[in-house]
Amino acid sequence: MTQTSSPANGMLFALGSASLYGLNIVYARMASFAGASGSAIVVYRVLLMLVLVGIAAAVARRSLAMAREERGTMLVLGVSTALLGICYLSAVAFIPVTVAAVVFYTFPILIVLASPFVEGTRLTPTLLGVAAMASLGVVMVVGPAFGGLDWRGLALAFAASVATAIQFFAGARCRKTGVVAKIFWIHLLVLPTATLIGLAAGQLTPPSGLAVAPFAVAMTIGGYIFGFVLQFLALGRITAVAAGIIYCTEPVVAALSSVLLLGETVNAMQIAGGVLVLAAIVTNVLLEQRRHKDAPMIAIAD
């Protein structure tokens, strides 16, 4: 089914997705403390996603056909999604969530800097200012927690950042394949990639290994599934740059969730950082609305 692209809806989808991802990483940290492997979580959530997508396609009678001209893009999406999930979930086993978030959330800046070469976006002072404001807010929210860090966690978090930037650009270009088919093929590509990486790292435990933290694992997987669907609904409607800035809400949600779920505290600097992130998002929304005000609606496949 094809419909016109709505940037406003895309931003709402991105905001919902970022919020679910922010909650998801807190539960991933809890699961890692209990001994659940990040690689195993990725593999089993991919299997569950494939089952759910197959059921949804059958019930809604949606085609799982992939647009021929988007096969290369889908391959990039699959590999980058696998690397993102494995690297980010594995990073929090070596370094705190706050530090992983600082390193991981370099991806909006990577997207902004790469956008002139990938999307032909003009780097205006306003756009650079919004990206800088959002990034500064993220650093303020997660706080200075860089003492005694494990280099493996830092490397994994930055690898996840690069993979995310690639995923956002590829997702924004993949408009002809329907969302259901897109999610199916991405995860079909993620499965062997994630399995091989898990085996190579010696972390691919049997499903019973996730029983050490059933609720945390369930919330990690659930937050990912719903967040992923909303993410790809968003990426068909807004640019990678716009989405990247909106996704700066994720660490803000993660920080608030840490307070509520893990008993952590926030200080005045973190609150000010959250305000900066929200200000950057509101500014970005206004800029996107102005940019799309007189632009023709784009046909996308749902």
Domains in the chain: boundaries? 2-301
Cβ burial of 283 (10 Å; 0-12, 13-18, 19+) is middle
Q: Is the pLDDT of residue 163 over 90?
A: yes
| Percent of the chain as helix, strand, coil, to the nearest 5 | 75, 0, 20
Confidence of residue 300 (pLDDT cuts 50, 70, 90): very low
- Of the given ranges (10-19, 222-231, 260-269, 281-290), which has the lowest mean pLDDT? 281-290
Please report, as a single letter, which amino acid is at residue 257: S
Confidence of residue 159 (pLDDT cuts 50, 70, 90): very high
The arithmetic mean of pLDDT across residues 119-138, rounded, is: 76
This prediction's pTM: 0.67
Q: What is the pLDDT of residues 15-37, one digit of tens each?
A: 899 889 888 878 887 888 788 77
Cα 69 to the center of its chain, rounded Å: 25
